[in-house]
Structure 1
């Protein structure tokens, strides 16, 4: 659902940019509370994994494909504030390096694909976790539902922006029906990927899943013939290193982006299909980075499509890991510095 330049007019795009900048600023402050020395590098890995999986378009209908948005996955794994930053890093690098998503529309994309998905998904996820049994399976179920709902919510948010600042004259009801309809189908794929990933991590290292914190049910004691909650003991600090998870996640991301992406669906994604069918793309503009050496997820002057796309994917994963990890380490160090100043 990467919105190109020309779909939304400049005033609305600029306003969305202000909203996105505010969300990133809030995310930077909130991430200080979510990140620690163990999870900061994992947040960079989550961003890289989202980048890699977004290259894997899957078919959802005749002539239409979809891909992961990633807001729900990032929020559940590393926290909602950090999740907004993860998606923002991915979208920024995609726009600058790969000419995917307009540069003037970067604020629109962060707002629609990052902020809306994270807010909707995490709010729904927390609500479900509170009412479901305190088991690991409940986290996976809540992840599935939250991810599913977040995608059509993002499509509805785009439609709202289009209603305010669309550059073509298309009935809003038509756009809303088409966008939400196809993105419900895409949401099923998003939900499956999110639940599978969260389930895999929580099976081996539940302590690394932000959304699974406080998962265990309180201990009950019988006092005077009645069951009461025992005073919870402080949770022990995990001693085993997250490095094996980090290495496994990085290798998986490299394989997905460098090899599996070659077999992704070539059909247009949901937004591209709706835009072409309904005429939203009549005023689309050429991307400012169209001449980038990595534009369209291929390495310039490499004629073999498999090698070109694979190299671009590997470069993208590497760049996202480096930039994302750098951002999150800086956030973590800022928290440590602030704590020291306060002391």
Structure 2
């Protein structure tokens, strides 16, 4: 759903940029409360994973494909504020290096794909967790529902932007029907990917899943054919903070590199939902060439590398590497700022007498 330059006029694009900048500023402050020494590097990994999976377009209808937006996944894994920042980092890398998503439309894209998806997904996720019985399956089911609804939510926001500042004369009813219809189908793919990823992380490290914090499922033993709660271990458990996140980080990075560097070659080549709707309805009549169209990585290929498989794979690997470096740097800086604030507050506090 990367909106190119020329779909939305300048005044609305500027207004969307202001909304996006405000949301990022709020998220930078909110992320200080979500990130700690364990989750800061994992947030960079989540951004890189989203970048990789967005390269894997999957077919949803004849001649149409979809890809992960990632807002729901990021919000549930690392928190809603950090989730907005994760997807924003991905969009910034894609727009500057890969000519994917217009630079003048960056505010529209951040609002659609980062802010709206996170808000919708996390609201649905938290609401369902209050209704469902506590447990890992409930977290996974709530993640599925939140992700499913977040994608048509972003499609509705695009329709609103188009109604306010579309550069072509297409009836808004047609845009709404076409956008929501195809993105409901894409939402199913988003939900499957999100639920599978959240479920996999919960299975190995539930303490690192923001949406599963406080989740405690007792160990079960089968006694005389019945499942019963296992007795508590006599020794005190090892604090979660003392457990290394390195194995998860390495396995996650390797997975992202494999997906972007190898699996992406087999992704669907059909246009995604927005591209298909834009072509069918005439929304793209005034689309402009991307300002970074001459980038050596434009269109997810490496310039002057003639082999398509090698070119796309190298571009994907470069993208994952760049995203994890930029993302980790941003989140470490946010984490350090929180530590500095806490130190300053402790220093300024009057000593007790």
TM-score (norm 1): 0.94
1:125 corresponds in structure 2 to 125
Q: Closer, same or farther in 2 for the Cα pair 1:167/1:243, shift >3 Å?
A: same
1:266 corresponds in structure 2 to 269
Equivalent positions of 1:112-261 (< 5 A) are: 112-216=112-216, 236-261=239-264
Q: How far is the alpha carbon of 1:240 from its aligned partner?
A: 1.4
2:34 corresponds in structure 1 to 34
Partners of 1:29 and 1:308 lie apart in 2 by 39
Equivalent positions of 1:5-84 (< 5 A) are: 5-84=5-84
Q: How far is the alpha carbon of 1:39 from its aligned partner?
A: 0.3
Q: How far is the alpha carbon of 1:239 from its aligned partner?
A: 2.1
Partners of 1:112 and 1:188 lie apart in 2 by 18
Equivalent positions of 1:284-299 (< 5 A) are: 284-299=287-302
Partners of 1:234 and 1:25 lie apart in 2 by 38
Partners of 2:289 and 2:239 lie apart in 1 by 54
Which of 332, 340, 343 is 1:329 aligned to? 332
1:223 corresponds in structure 2 to none
Could you report, residue by residue, the CA deviation over 1:158-190 in whole angstroms, capped at 9, with x for unpaired residues?
A: 000000000000000000000000000000000
| Residues matched between the structures, number | 329
Q: How far is the alpha carbon of 1:237 from its aligned partner?
A: 3.7
Partners of 2:114 and 2:176 lie apart in 1 by 19
Contact 2:38–2:241 under 8 Å retained in 1: no
Partners of 2:68 and 2:310 lie apart in 1 by 23
Contact 1:59–1:265 under 8 Å retained in 2: yes
**Structure 2 unaligned spans of 5+:** 219-235, 347-353
Q: How far is the alpha carbon of 1:315 from its aligned partner?
A: 0.1
SS in 2 for 1:186: helix
**Structure 1 unaligned spans of 5+:** 219-232
Q: How far is the alpha carbon of 1:216 from its aligned partner?
A: 3.0
Partners of 1:291 and 1:145 lie apart in 2 by 40
1:340 equivalent in alignment to 2:343: yes
TM-score (norm 2): 0.92
Partners of 2:11 and 2:303 lie apart in 1 by 34
Partners of 1:194 and 1:237 lie apart in 2 by 24
SS in 2 for 1:5: coil
Contact 1:207–1:238 under 8 Å retained in 2: no
2:225 corresponds in structure 1 to none
SS in 1 for 2:242: coil
2:223 corresponds in structure 1 to none
Moved over 3 A (4+): 233-238
Partners of 2:167 and 2:197 lie apart in 1 by 38
Contact 2:207–2:240 under 8 Å retained in 1: no
Partners of 1:312 and 1:59 lie apart in 2 by 22
1:313 corresponds in structure 2 to 316
1:88 corresponds in structure 2 to 88
1:98 equivalent in alignment to 2:98: yes
Q: How far is the alpha carbon of 1:109 from its aligned partner?
A: 0.1
Partners of 1:192 and 1:149 lie apart in 2 by 12
Partners of 2:270 and 2:125 lie apart in 1 by 31
Partners of 1:205 and 1:315 lie apart in 2 by 28
Partners of 1:77 and 1:273 lie apart in 2 by 31
